[in-house]
Amino acid sequence: MIFGNNNYIDKMDFVEINYKNSKKLFSKKSKYQMIDVYKNDFFGNILVIDDDLQLTEHDECNYHEMISHVPLNYIPNAKRVLIIGGGDGGTLREVCKHSNLKEIYLIEIDEEVINVSKKYFPNVSKSFNDVRLKLIIEDGYKWVKNNLKSMEDYFDVIIIDSTDYNTAIKLFSKKFYSMLRDMIKDEGILVFNCMGLSWEKEDIDGIINDMKKNYKYVNLYQVFIPTYASGHYTFCFNSNSIDPMNTPIDIEKFRRKNIDTKYYNIEIHKASFHLPNEYLKGGNKKERLGSNLLIDVRGVDFNILNDLDYLTDIMLDISKLYNFNVVSDSYSKFKPYGITINFLLSESHFTLHTWPEKGKICLDIFSCGKFKWNFKNNSNKINILDVLSNNLKVSKDNINVNWQEREI
């Protein structure tokens, strides 16, 4: 890093980023690291630790929202989260938006980072007074080692939000990842900040291979952070029970939480796991199994949702629309109300379930063949949204669609 002529320069091996008209606000050597804060006309305040840019007020939300909401939306009823690092408070701020959480541990080695963030980044650090927070000033590696037995299978989600190597070198070790595996519940998730996908592919490959020794599902997911080197950054998702590529997200539960985000949304969440072809070469490319369409509809009339013949006709219309071959069908009518209908397709299956008392209906279509649900390539120029909106008598705004290409 260079500071001079009113410009702050982020100097790296391949490129220099010049932040014009920058002013130094703070500089101090703490017990562990050098901490600097700059002010820039466009990017706002900038946090730099040991000459590495950590965040800017302009785009910090991209990083903090993706490292937090991606894992937490796979476990919408999670109770306990552990954050290792994250002294600026940004990840904590996003985690605290999930009201279902009961305990949030944050382990930060350098209290000075917290103090600096509270003074110069008040919007980032605003959740340190959350009553669910257990703030511990300690070396993250030592804390995990000392609490391993008492907190075995304790956390639903663990997030490592550390600086790059330097004093945090132990947080990147195989031993540390192995210890964390024992702290996470069997159905839990570990996420940590990784590297720039475009410039550090070989290093990332090594990390992925190491993590696969401890976890069944290891996936990179990407985020775009303009002020990071290359702008194309990644996180590493690890779990022994949750495959992020093939596990549906409960969109309705996320919506009910009323979480305000600037960068994160469900579509970006799903897209973030789809990596460039260049990365997929070399044994990481997956085999396609089929197409999975999940649809949730709300605000439907009670009588429609309890009418077996009417709903069966809708499913037949949709099957004809996409040329599905219905091999057999079955149904169940529940007391006092509610219906499930199953179509066995030569391509796979088509299932419908209703909750008349809630005004909701869910559809699940899986096809081994390729079909584009949103194409209007038929003579009537309609797709499944048109069929559902017209027959269920609801606006398309009441219809949520989750589309996945299932791979292994």
Residue 140 has φ and ψ, to the nearest 5°, of: -60, -40
pLDDT of residue 3: 46
pLDDT of residue 11: 65
Maximum pairwise Cα distance, the chain: 76
pLDDT of residue 14: 60
Q: How far is CA 102 from CA 127, 133, 207, 239, in A?
A: 15, 9, 31, 21
pLDDT of residue 183: 95
pLDDT of residue 285: 53
Q: 219 with 237: CB under 8 angstroms? A: yes
Strand partners, 134: 105
Distance CA 44, CA 59 (A): 10
pLDDT of residue 73: 96
| Closest C-alpha to 230, from 2, 5, 12, 7 | 12
Tokens of 123: 């919007």
Distance CA 14, CA 78 (A): 41
Tokens of 97: 């938006």
Catalytic residue numbers read 161
pLDDT of residue 84: 96
pTM of the predicted protein model: 0.71
Q: In sequence order, which ranges of 154-300 are alpha helices (DSSP H)? A: 174-183, 201-211, 251-256, 266-272, 277-280
Nearest 5 degrees, angle CA 295-CA 300-CA 303?
Answer: 125
Element (H, E) at 305: helix 302-305
Distance CA 350, CA 185 (A): 33
pLDDT tens, the chain, 408 aa long: 444 445 667 666 566 777 776 889 999 999 999 999 999 989 999 999 988 889 999 999 999 999 999 999 999 999 999 999 999 999 999 999 999 999 999 999 999 999 999 999 999 999 999 999 999 999 999 999 999 999 998 999 999 998 765 556 677 777 888 899 999 999 999 999 988 777 766 677 778 888 888 899 999 999 999 888 778 899 999 999 999 988 888 888 888 999 999 999 999 999 999 988 777 654 455 667 888 899 999 999 999 999 999 999 999 999 998 889 999 999 999 999 999 999 999 989 999 999 999 999 999 999 987 666 665 545 556 889 899 999 999 998 899 988 877 776
Q: 105 with 79: CB under 8 angstroms? A: no
Residue 313 has φ and ψ, to the nearest 5°, of: -65, -40
Report all structural domains of the chain as residue ranges with CATH numbers, in order of start.
Answer: 2-54 (2.30.140.10), 60-280 (3.40.50.150), 288-407 (3.60.90.10)
pLDDT of residue 246: 85
Q: 406 with 246: CB under 8 angstroms? A: yes
